[in-house]
Amino acid sequence: TQLLEQSPQFLSIQEGENLTVYCNSSSVFSSLQWYRQEPGEGPVLLVTVVTGGEVKKLKRLTFQFGDARKDSSLHITAAQPGDTGLYLCAGRGTGAGSYQLTFGKGTKLSVIP
């Protein structure tokens, strides 16, 4: 079983601050996705990264896939209260493991106005 460790587990910051959350594994992933989940709802896809070293930007969010495709980070610039939620990373394995999408336990972000 491939494990994804996310850190920090909880993060509470003031509006306007920057933050980075991390997703690490000892396994190689064919692709990695980031989702955001709000209370009472299912996770919603933010981005997919597939190439080692890839960087993708989505407005104030910057996602990076590690060169070895074992880790990823999500950086948020000038956080806003609307960014509050549970951020989940999820990786697909290689070969036969590519059918399964494994999730980390998430980082719960609170942005205080």
Partner 1 sequence: DSGVTQTPKHLITATGQRVTLRCSPRSGDLSVYWYQQSLDQGLQFLIQYYNGEERAKGNILERFSAQQFPDLHSELNLSSLELGDSALYFCASSVSILAGSPLHFGNGTRLTVT
The residues that touch partner 1, with contacts defined as CB under 8 A, are: 1, 30-31, 33, 35, 40-45, 48, 50, 88, 90, 92, 98-106
Nearer to partner 1, 45 or 78 (CB): 45
- The minimum distance between CB 80 and partner 1, in angstroms, equals 23
Backbone dihedral region of 97: left (phi > 0), alpha (psi from -120 to 50 degrees) or beta? Answer: alpha
Nearer to partner 1, 13 or 86 (CB): 86
- Cβ burial of 27 (10 Å; 0-12, 13-18, 19+) is middle
- The minimum distance between CB 46 and partner 1, in angstroms, equals 10
Tokens of 61: 């969010």
Phi, psi of 102 (to 5 degrees): -100, 130
| Cα–Cα distance, 77 to 71 (Å, whole number) | 20
- The minimum distance between CB 18 and partner 1, in angstroms, equals 25
- The minimum distance between CB 14 and partner 1, in angstroms, equals 26
Beta strands across the sheet bearing 61-65: 5-7, 19-24, 71-76, 61-65, 55-58
Nearer to partner 1, 33 or 84 (CB): 33
Nearer to partner 1, 90 or 111 (CB): 90
